[in-house]
Amino acid sequence: MNSIYQEIIIDHYKNPRNFGQLKKYDKKTLVSNPFCGDKMEMTICFTGNKIKDIKFKGIGCAISQASASMLTEYVKNKKKNQLVKLDKNFILKILKIELSPLRLKCALLPLEALKKITK
């Protein structure tokens, strides 16, 4: 793992952006990683077709937390139809690291929550 990207991931893990639960939200979802049992909750608030605010919470490894932190930062103010293209490759692109199949499940957990909550 490239150390600069490792540091970015650790920073997002230690200081997750958009961590918590929105006081007022339009939708809430809960997903879990069947391999480790970690759970992640996501709350979202829309303005028309746009994501006005989004938060996540839960306990998970550095990869899942960093992925959620980066993903929620990215999608704020995006339109729902802009989220359709977000997939595994997008997550790998923002994390900028190579992942084993098990770690990939961790990284994709926030995307699963986002897809569920925005459909």
Binding site for ligand FES (CB under 6 A): 33, 36, 38, 60-61, 63-64, 106, 109
Q: What is the DSSP letter of 19?
A: B
CA 100 to chain centre: 18
Query: 6-16 burial, b for 16+ CB within 10 Å, e for fewer?
Result: eebbeebbeeb
Q: Which two tokens stand for residue 12?
A: 């997002």
Q: Kindly state the smallest distance separating residue 26's Cβ from ligand FES, in Å.
A: 25
Nearer to ligand FES, 86 or 106 (CB): 106
Nearer to ligand FES, 51 or 56 (CB): 56
Nearer to ligand FES, 5 or 35 (CB): 35
